[in-house]
Amino acid sequence: MKPESSYAKLRLTMQEKKIETEILEILSRDCRTPPETIARMIGRSVEDTTGIIEALENQGVIKRYTATIDWEQLGLEKVIAFIDVKVMPAREVGFDAIAMRIARYPEVKSVWLVSGGSDLRILVEAVNLRSLGNFVAEKIATIDGVTGTVTQFLLRKYKEDNVLYNEPEPDDRLIVSP
């Protein structure tokens, strides 16, 4: 392959990457932004834009579209806990086998492998304190290879997914200014 053509190809991929990143940033701010609007924001056709979004969905880059909800404001009580799990890593699979075992429970919202004193940090959501306690005691602590858990309950949310919960930021600029 000639050096110019590989350079041109590289440039093209870089441009595509830039467009993809731009689309993803728009969607991460508001996943309901219509493709027509996104197309106009990035200066591409609607077909191009929908094509790129579909490809990103198919590749699994876009996992899913969700809403950030203040359940408390709705009056819905939910118990959320962060659980630090110490794990004995297994030969061949390391932490993956236990991590996946934990991740498959629907109560478990997120599972991360972290550095520091514990190995896995998981986020669990339950309807009340008792069911959460039961879940940890019966399901997590009893998994082979789990050597200890530390549970921390969430008391109040201040910010989630870039959204401040309690501090609306009104637009108090002058209506017309030079």
Residue 22 contacts other proteins per CB under 8 A: yes
- Among 19, 24, 42, 97, interactor with other proteins by CB under 8 A: 42
d(CA 82, CA 156): 13
Query: Is residue 45 a contact residue for other proteins (CB under 8 A)?
Result: no
State both tokens at 77. Answer: 């009580």
**Other beta carbons within 10 Å of 81:** 19
Exposure class string for 112-149: b at 16+ Cβ within 10 A, else e? eeeeeebbbbbebbbeeeeebeebbeebbeeeeebeeb
**Tokens read off for 97:** 């086998």
Instruction: With beta carbons less than 8 A apart as the criterion, state whether 130 and 77 touch.
Output: no
Only segment of 5-13, 32-40, 95-103, 123-131 that touches other proteins (CB under 8 A): 32-40
- Total residues belonging to the chain: 178
- Residue 33 contacts other proteins per CB under 8 A: yes
User: Which stretch, 36-44, 98-106, 130-138, 149-157, contacts other proteins (CB under 8 A)?
Assistant: 36-44
Q: Quick one: 30 or 138, whose CB is closer to other proteins?
A: 30
Nearest distance in Å: CB 29, other proteins? 8
Nearest approach, Cβ of residue 34 and other proteins (Å): 10
The binder of other proteins chosen from 19, 24, 26, 46 (CB under 8 A): 26
66 CB-near residues (< 8 Å, 6+ apart): 31
Window 154 to 173, contacts with other proteins (CB under 8 A):
169, 171, 173
- Decide: is 37 part of the binding site for other proteins (CB under 8 A): yes
Residues within the interface to other proteins (CB under 8 A): 22, 25-26, 30, 33, 37, 40-43, 169, 171, 173-178
